[in-house]
Amino acid sequence: MMSVTRADTSTLGRWWWTVDRPTLIALFLLVGAGFVLMLAASPAVAVRIGAASRNSFIGKQMVFLALGCAVMIGVSLLTPRQVRQMALLGCLAALAMTAATLVIGPEVKGARRWLSLPGFQLQPSEFLKPCLAIVCAWLISLGHRPGSRFPGALAAVLLFGVAALLLKLQPDVGMLMVVAAVLFAQLFVNGLNMFAVVGMAGAGVALFGAAYALLPHVQSRVQRFLDPAAGDTYQVDVALEAFGNGGLFGRGPGEGRIKTVLPDAHADFVFAVAGEEFGFILCMILIAIFGFIVIRGLLRLLGETDRFTLIAATGLLTQFGLQAFVNMASTLHLIPTKGMTLPFVSYGGSSVLAIALGMGFLLALTRRRVGSGGGEA
């Protein structure tokens, strides 16, 4: 059996002893949970929609998860300089493809967010999130180089404005809110004064108010959250019933009944399937894994001296944690419903691959580098 020792100076050996192994293990646990929950939830969905096979979603998700693991490990081998270069190319490509969805993307439920490729539906904005976080961090850090007069923070805000405009035109308000929160976290870590914090918070409230006033689907979701009698709350009601049925230990793998009637049981509402079949304890374990990844990542940044690494990793962790929170909180009716996947657990090729890319970036940036500040390694 092959073993990797500290004396191994190969690329794999150096990677193994410098990568954050606890975070890597936690991410693989999420991948495993995603596979198990796909086995539990997707066959019933496939039968309900008349798919060619009960295992249609399982086969596709296995491919997505395998590719995601390969992407995550491959990207984690990169240096910070290579991370920046890859993210810049990815950001430009994702912006171009996101713009293309407005022209050639199919309209689904009143929005154009996808590109139809042979055998695959691609959502470019998913890949925009991690790449934009890295590029914005790079721009912000450029403004702090000795002797630099480059307006890094302003450049990052302008780039965000381009992405925000495209997301608004799709429209994808949920994605826009996540991207805005990531940039706010990055600017805050960079050193915002309190006047700027208050101003950006006010801008966020104004943005949400404008979305509520101008976008009927946003208004409908908020009204249904505040007053269930104001509209159809079927999905949330069924999801909450699933948690009630599961109790502490769940009804057992494959024994859930809600997945046969719950729309998107394998995607946006997979957390409800986990609650019914595996119970409260497994749900708490999943929450703990997500929390561990975010908290450990932030703790590792406490001693970080390279500004780019600090800002970029903060953005990636904010994005990852916020996406998990939005999915689980909307399933539990703690916030208005938002179609956002649970990282590595929900079905979806674009989501799995984009999250794998972002976590690969994170693992690459947080690797231990002796004698290097991280930014130019």
Mean pLDDT of the chain, nearest integer: 88
For residues 303-313, one letter each, b for 16 or more C-beta atoms within 10 angstroms of the residue's C-beta and e for the rest, the string is ebebbbbbbbb
Instruction: State pLDDT tens for residues 269-302.
Output: 999 999 999 999 999 999 999 999 999 999 999 9
- Burial tier of 267 (Cβ tally within 10 Å: 0-12, 13-18, 19+): buried
Q: Which pairs from 299-302 meet CB under 8 Å and 24+ separation? A: 300/20, 300/366, 301/366
The structure's pTM equals 0.91
Instruction: State pLDDT tens for residues 86-140.
Output: 999 999 999 999 999 999 988 887 788 999 887 778 999 999 999 999 999 999 9
Predicted confidence (pLDDT) at residue 1 exceeds the cutoff of 60: no
Q: Which residues are within 8 A (CB) of 231 and not within 5 positions of it... i.e. 6 or more apart?
A: 220, 223, 224
- Please give the pLDDT value at position 376: 42
Question: The tokens of 176 are what?
Answer: 């826009």
For residues 86-102, one letter each, b for 16 or more C-beta atoms within 10 angstroms of the residue's C-beta and e for the rest, the string is bbeebbeebbebbbebe
Predicted confidence (pLDDT) at residue 203 exceeds the cutoff of 80: no
SS3 111: strand
The rounded distance, in Å, linking the Cα atoms of 21 and 366 is 11
pLDDT-derived band at 368 (thresholds 50, 70, 90) equals: confident
